[in-house]
Amino acid sequence: MLNGKKIAVVLPAYNAEKTLRATVAELPECVDFRILVDDGSSDQTADLGRAIGLEVYVHDRNYGYGRNQQTCYREALACGADIVIMVHPDYQYTPLLVTALASMVAYDVYDVVLGSRIIGGGSLHGGMPLYKYIANRLLTAIENLLLGAKMSEYHTGYRAFSRAVLTEVPLLENSDDFVFDNQMLAQCVYFGFRIGEVSCPTKYFEEASSISFRRSVKYGFGVLATSLAFRLQKMGLAKYKIFNSKGRKLDLQYYTLTSADALEAANQSQNEGK
């Protein structure tokens, strides 16, 4: 807890058995809730999560990274968290910065805080492979232009959100795939939430998760489509569900049920809404 605010760390996991323990070991004591959502892993991620004291939820199949996050945020909100921080359990981003990210939200400086691989010291490209760094810089430049924002990057997976962001943004209108991350930031800009950044070193190694080149290209086109949709809606030339304040939001009604039934009901509702 910081400044009277309860803090949840959520870990969207898929085959993270090899790196989960190291990630969790570095989480600071200020964290009140530690939640892992296993998106249909084929390894022992869920069992290990339970063994090391995490609150674990398991999808009945692999729904995708975006859907995993939606479940993460639902469960964190249901616990009563005021601040929710997403930490990838692949140990690429250091969990030691959780306190720094959380404090900027806890003291009402920002509504959203990102761990940026671009700003700060260290190597030129923040530990990223060079091709990823170049793609990151190009996409970020286009996004800053179309969104009218000024961020060092939009593609980090290390993020802190206030409760208000997670309850007011229509997250259920977003993709179940990797572009969910980008859509969510575009929504935060569109709805006027304050976004800050802190410098975050990263590690790239064999056990760390990575998407294929094909999916990276798909993600890149999704980023461009999201940014263009943002600009068209701002200009009044089109309307998109992801930027509709009345769009589908996280629904906590399912928590009158048991956790297992709640997860099943939430997934069924989302499938019907797609």
Q: What is the pLDDT of residues 27-77, one digit of tens each?
A: 999 999 999 999 999 999 999 999 999 999 999 999 999 999 999 999 999
- Residue 202 pLDDT class (50, 70, 90 cuts): confident
For residues 198 and 116, is the Cβ–Cβ distance under 8 A? yes
Higher pLDDT residue, 130 or 270? 130
**∠ Cα 238 271 173 (to 5°):** 30
Note the pLDDT of residue 258.
Answer: 44
Q: Where are the domains of the chain?
A: 7-273
At residue 128 the predicted structure's pLDDT band, cuts being 50, 70 and 90, is: low
Pairing relationship of beta strands 83-86 and 159-162 according to DSSP bridges: antiparallel
pLDDT at position 21 over 50:
yes
Domain 7-273 class, CATH top level = alpha beta
Tell me which of 267 and 144 has the higher pLDDT.
144
HSE-up (13 A, CA, CB side) for residue 7: 25
The answer to whether residue 245 scores a pLDDT higher than 70 is yes
